[in-house]
Amino acid sequence: MKHKDREKERFLMLCGQKDRALILGEEKLKIRDFDRLTYLTDYLGFQDFNLEFWFERAMEFKEEFERIEKYIMEADVFYCEEIIEDALEMSRLWIKDFYEAVPNEEARRIVAKLIDKQDTGMIMEITGQADTL
């Protein structure tokens, strides 16, 4: 089994039922789901699976990406700063929602460690507890 396949298998074991259905094609993937899942797979350290997922599914959203690119190119600096701030807040919500959807306690401990590796203190912010790890 290739490394990217092991990463995909591991990620599927950690994620909630809805994300699993989206990744496996059991539910329609929307651009906001694609954006969120590519962010989360990268953030949590599943880079090989992230690249595979991107290359397999990105072309489904070609028109949306072109519209976003056009919007960003036309936006002035003030709005770009707001977009960045909004994106940072959204990414924190994605991490929190992902953590809350983890299917069991063992998987929750694993995800907590992956989050803590990226951002010490984030897991405490999410759970309100210092002893989650």
For residue 104, being part of any structural domain is answered with yes
Sign of CA dihedral 125, 128, 129, 132: negative
Tens place of pLDDT for every residue, the chain, 133 residues? 799 999 999 999 999 999 999 999 999 999 999 999 999 999 999 999 999 999 999 999 999 888 878 877 777 655 567 777 888 889 999 999 999 999 999 999 999 999 999 887 788 878 776 555 5
For residue 133, being part of any structural domain is answered with no
pLDDT at 78: 56
Domain assignment of residue 33, given as a range = 3-127
pTM score over 0.95: no
Task: State the burial class of residue 92 (Cβ atoms within 10 Å of its Cβ: 0-12, 13-18, 19+).
Answer: middle
pLDDT at 84: 75
For residue 132, being part of any structural domain is answered with no
Within 10 angstroms of residue 75's Cβ, the number of other Cβ atoms is 13
For residue 99, being part of any structural domain is answered with yes
pLDDT at 40: 98
pLDDT at 130: 57
Count of structural domains, the chain: 1
pLDDT at 127: 77
Phi-psi region of 25 (alpha: psi -120 to 50; beta: other; left: phi over 0): left
